[in-house]
Structure 1
């Protein structure tokens, strides 16, 4: 169905209902479909998703989306590869607003790519840094992917957000190191530009002070227990409305556009989640997960080896499926196996989203690559894919570290008591 162009939510829904109709009865499948749909729509915890989306769109309307790159460029743009380093910082900062990889790469590349090309950067190197940096949006809180995983897997969203902080920080550092090494071996990739005076740097910092305070308050309050996830998102919406007013953008048109974009995206995600829950119900009825878990345990292979095999399967599927489809299709099957092997579901959520991010930049799908090519239509897909290869190598090393050292994801939630 996916290969035939049917949307992921509808495809999951039809597969789940059809499977239940065959295994049980059409009447039971219809009743279960109604019950699951109502439970999803009425779930209080799911309110966190449209609220964080609304907060993001209000921040877009406030013009806060491009300021992170400007700050980073003022501070490190004068170094070799400095604008590429700034693009990683911009992606990390903007990801904390948007929670989306595609939105991050589309927004930051529209600002950073013209600046890097004007400064004489190699086009493939510049595009590769932006494509890789865009994946930070999937993991940095408030990550939409982690929210969806938390709902599907019935895990604490606050714990998932806390667990993501060290992996996303080390991921960003791995990209920065890659840029520094590439420019050290070949300075022509990212020539140094003019140093910005401190007056410009301080002005740029001032422009993001309000949005940084907003993000710190909302995400920090959630992690230390001041708010539940839904309360944190609600506080974020109110605070972002105040930010919009302070920046002089509080208009009826801006609010209408923010609400419209939120409803459009949230409606699509609700359909996907309903489909995923029906598909997961069908999978549980078949007994596939128990059989696969038993088979894996019966092989007496090490848990790490089983996770490596899962990684290879996810990377293979990620060559043909987008990230959300990959996560929703595989979570009902792989999560019980990971738990049977002794892995924490919180760690598995971080591992799954991190693996999913690789699908945004590796061929043949690589959605971030196509988004970038839409921004810079004169760049060929081959040029962008070649530019992203060094960053893909860094991604694989980082993913291996998460698998080898689960404490990267689990230490902070335990330390914070999240």
Structure 2
């Protein structure tokens, strides 16, 4: 295999990036470049057989069943307006405070993120509910759009997260441990966003006028509309964390529970079920294609020895654990500004995971850290998909103003990322305590 050199792997990655930036479909591009590389290294017959084995092995993996079940749960909750209920409950509890609706938006994004697992969907659905309410109350457009765009990234971090499921499959790591490890970073991320709002409204009170206090007789009905959702999600995430149920069992319980909640609310119709099934199958098929393509590409990268060469080069710099991880973070942020989040994860995991493990940290830590870096890409100009989603929701606000509005939250993201490097226990403590 004369072509099995790190240079070949690097050329493959460059070709992959060019095709992705040219608008190629991520799953197809990953698979085709990986297969082409294996043909070069192994020959046609061996490459096709290897790709077929990867595809069959992936599709028959038991843990892969968690993905469509959690997606189905999310689509059922879409049909019962769960995002509106979560935001309204938070707004009635916090809306009377200065910046209260911004806090409520963050809480609504966190709550909806637990049942959705998608940053883009969280931003869009919460934005449609929260943005008009904030503008009606006189909130600054930059603060309103920036809060929702940043809060939407909680959809990827707070379990159950589609990104963490994909990483667990690619890295062959426990999905339950990843979910447990993401709980504290997800909470601290939401608290950082709330702190940004608190600082902004203290410095410039005109950004977010205080509202009227809602009496408890109006708060309680709003809380009553979300109790079943809260109980279901708490059981699903808590059950995984303490080891009562596996992620696959939790996904099945979540899907069945969502159907039960929809039936209790008398919103379980054949039409809503049909839409939920169609969207679940469409999204699942797309993600399965991406996972298979990524695994084929990762085998190609492994055959070239690029990951080992990159690890040796990084160790040769003598930066130590902190310096190495900061360099990795900068690399991820640079790529994240021009690549889709999932493309970033699937492209970098085969190369960076061995380097991270060489510093003494686990795949669990890297999975959460990588997801956090991905999230920053969702609000990092110039790609920043959440920012463009918000422009679609807030048609009266220019993209430049949305960029400016998200900058304070972006700064808090950088601080949070540094803290995850300095204090790995933020990620690793809870799994170690619960034995996850």
Question: TM range, normalised to the smaller chain?
Answer: over 0.9
CA distance, structure 1, for counterparts of residue 132 and residue 317 of structure 2: 53
Q: 1:372 aligns with which of 390, 393, 411?
A: 390
In the TM superposition, what is the alpha-carbon distance from 1:221 to its structure 2 partner?
A: 1.1
CA distance in 2: counterparts of 1:365 and 1:301, whole angstroms? 30
Question: 1:62 offset after TM fit, Å?
Answer: 2.4
Question: Aligned residue for 1:54?
Answer: 72
Corresponding residue SS for 2:225 = helix
**Structure 2 residue ranges without an equivalent (≥5):** 1-18
Matches within 5 A, 1:212-361: 212-361=230-379
| RMSD over aligned Cα atoms | 0.8
> Deviation at 1:416?
0.6
SS of structure 1 residue aligned to 2:250 = helix
Q: Quote the Cα distance in structure 1 between the aligned partners of 2:22 and 2:386.
A: 22
1:121 is matched with 139
Match in the other structure for 2:430:
412
Task: Name the CA distance, whole Å, in 1 between partners of 2:234 and 2:432.
Answer: 20
- 1:33 matches 2:51: yes
Q: CA deviation at 1:348?
A: 0.5
The SS at the match of 2:38 is: helix
Q: How far is 1:300 from its partner?
A: 2.3
- State how far apart, in whole Å, the 2-side matches of 1:406 and 1:194 are: 42
With the length of structure 2 as denominator, give the TM-score of the two structures: 0.95
* 1:159 paired to 2:177: yes
Deviation (angstroms), 1:192 = 0.6
Could you say what secondary structure the match of 2:213 adopts? coil
Is 1:200 paired with 2:218?
yes
1-structure distance, mates of 2:316, 2:58: 36
Residue 389 of structure 1: aligned partner: 407
Whole-Å separation in 1 of the counterparts to 2:118 and 2:213: 32
Q: Which residue of 2 aligns with 1:105?
A: 123
Per-residue CA deviation, residues 275-333 of structure 1 (Å, 9 max, x unaligned), is: 00001100110111111112222332211111111111111111110100000000000
CA deviations on 1:147-187 (whole Å, 9 max, x unpaired) are: 10011001111111110111011111111111011000100
Equivalent position SS for 1:195: coil
1:126, distance to aligned residue in structure 2 (A): 0.6
Q: What are the equivalent positions in structure 2 for 1:139-154 lying under 5 Å apart? A: 139-154=157-172
Give the total of aligned pairs: 418
Aligned equivalents of 2:81, 2:130: Cα separation in 1: 16
Partner of 1:136: 154
Specify the SS of the correspondent of 1:270.
helix
Separation in 1, partners of 2:315, 2:107:
42
Q: 3-state DSSP class of the match of 2:76?
A: helix
TM-score under structure 1 length normalisation? 0.99
Question: Using the alignment, how far apart are the partners of 1:41 and 1:22 within structure 2?
Answer: 26
- For residues 146 and 122 of structure 1, the distance between their equivalents in structure 2, rounded to whole angstroms, comes to 34
Quick one: distance in 1 between partners of 2:186 and 2:254? 21
- CA–CA separation in structure 2 for the residues paired with 1:65 and 1:88: 12
Q: CA deviation at 1:81?
A: 0.7
The secondary structure found in structure 2 opposite 1:65 is helix
